[in-house]
């Protein structure tokens, strides 16, 4: 139906606007023509309004999608950069501090020597009790070193090597001084036990770093949970599914690393009592 014609209410055929009688059914249209023209105008307006509403709805959907993406990216950038509160910065990513690093290393070594002297020469405690204490205690100081110093894994691995070697060296020196025995082991078996004990203490210290790293990673994931949820929800086709799987595998590996390190430390430290 165009603006120059209208529909006959009897036969529904197109009739010119100027006609008063339908040329097809010969019915009188004088009474119905104003109503038909008004209905035609209203139908055109409804169609126009419907088209405008669809366009507005489409534009609003695109705008909301862009706003969600922009908000998610802004949230991720804000919470993954240095814009942390002083408390969060101290808890998760403190500034690198060599005095804290060196202080925790020296404190661990001194504590190992003190425990060795008190338990064996003052209270004559069983050696197994000393082994368990000197394996678990470095994990605590290693956690404190990772929390306060702010260094990465390589520096803490170096600290673990120093703690293991110097702690065992100090214990050997105390034993040699008080018992009057040679400072260094005299046979291959004693050297093997000494190296295993050194590895146990070093792995225990490094386990403290891995534990702190895992806790800091979990805290960052909790802060970014809303952002990650929005980023994943914006794609209904599952485009980022591979990213989610990769993150889950990486989280699983990170979570099991402290357990593996702690197990190796306990095995190395207690092997002398459980193995041949």
**Any residues with CB less than 8 A from the CB of 79 and at least 6 apart, and which?**
220, 223, 224, 227
Terminal-residue alpha carbon distance, the chain: 102
Question: Distances from the Cα of 72 to the Cαs of 69, 222, 241, in angstroms?
Answer: 5, 15, 17
Give me 15's structure tokens: 């009739």
DSSP 8-state code for residue 94 = P
Mean of pLDDT values over 74-90: 48
* pLDDT(91) > 50: no
Where residue 59 falls among pLDDT bands split at 50, 70, 90?
A: confident
Q: How far apart are CA 4 and CA 272, in angstroms?
A: 105
Q: What's the token pair of residue 199?
A: 């590895």
Residue pair 29/21 in contact (Cβ under 8 Å)? The answer is yes
Residues with Cβ within 8 Å of 11's Cβ and at least 6 positions away in sequence, in order, are 22, 24, 25, 27
Cα four-point dihedral sign 248, 147, 108, 167: positive
Mean pLDDT (whole number) for 255-274: 56
pTM for this structure? 0.52
Q: Give dist(CA 70, CA 77) in Å, integer.
A: 10
Report pLDDT for 92: 45
pLDDT at position 21? 85
Alpha-carbon distance values, 57 to 51, 61, 64, 67, 178 (Å): 10, 6, 10, 15, 87
Residue with tokens 């004990």: 197
Give the mean pLDDT of 252-266.
Answer: 58
């Amino acid at each position: 139906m165009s603006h120059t014609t209208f529909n006959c209410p009897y036969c529904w055929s197109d009739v010119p606007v100027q006609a008063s009688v339908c040329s097809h059914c010969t019915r009188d249209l004088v009474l119905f023509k104003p109503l038909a023209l008004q209905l035609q105008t209203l139908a055109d307006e409804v169609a126009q309004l419907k088209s405008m509403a669809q366009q507005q709805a489409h534009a609003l959907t695109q705008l909301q999608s862009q706003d969600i993406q922009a908000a998610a990216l802004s949230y991720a950038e804000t919470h993954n950069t240095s814009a942390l509160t002083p408390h969060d910065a101290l808890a998760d990513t403190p500034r690198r501090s060599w005095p804290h690093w060196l202080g925790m290393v020296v404190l661990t070594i001194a504590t190992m020597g003190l425990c060795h002297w008190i338990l064996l020469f003052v209270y004559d405690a069983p050696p197994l009790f000393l082994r368990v204490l000197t394996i678990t205690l470095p994990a605590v100081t290693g956690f404190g070193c990772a929390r306060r110093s702010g260094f990465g894994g390589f520096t803490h691995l170096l600290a673990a090597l120093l703690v293991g070697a110097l702690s065992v060296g100090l214990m050997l020196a105390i034993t040699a001084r008080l018992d009057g025995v040679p400072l260094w082991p005299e046979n291959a078996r004693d050297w093997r036990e000494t190296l295993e004990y050194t590895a146990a203490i070093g792995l225990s210290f490094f386990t403290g770093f891995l534990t702190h790293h895992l806790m800091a990673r979990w805290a960052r994931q909790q802060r970014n949970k809303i952002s990650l949820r929005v980023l994943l929800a914006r794609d209904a086709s599952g485009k980022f599914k591979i990213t989610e799987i990769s993150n889950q595998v990486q989280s699983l590996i990170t979570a099991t690393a402290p357990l593996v390190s702690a197990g190796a430390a306990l095995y190395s430290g207690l092997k002398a009592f459980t193995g041949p």
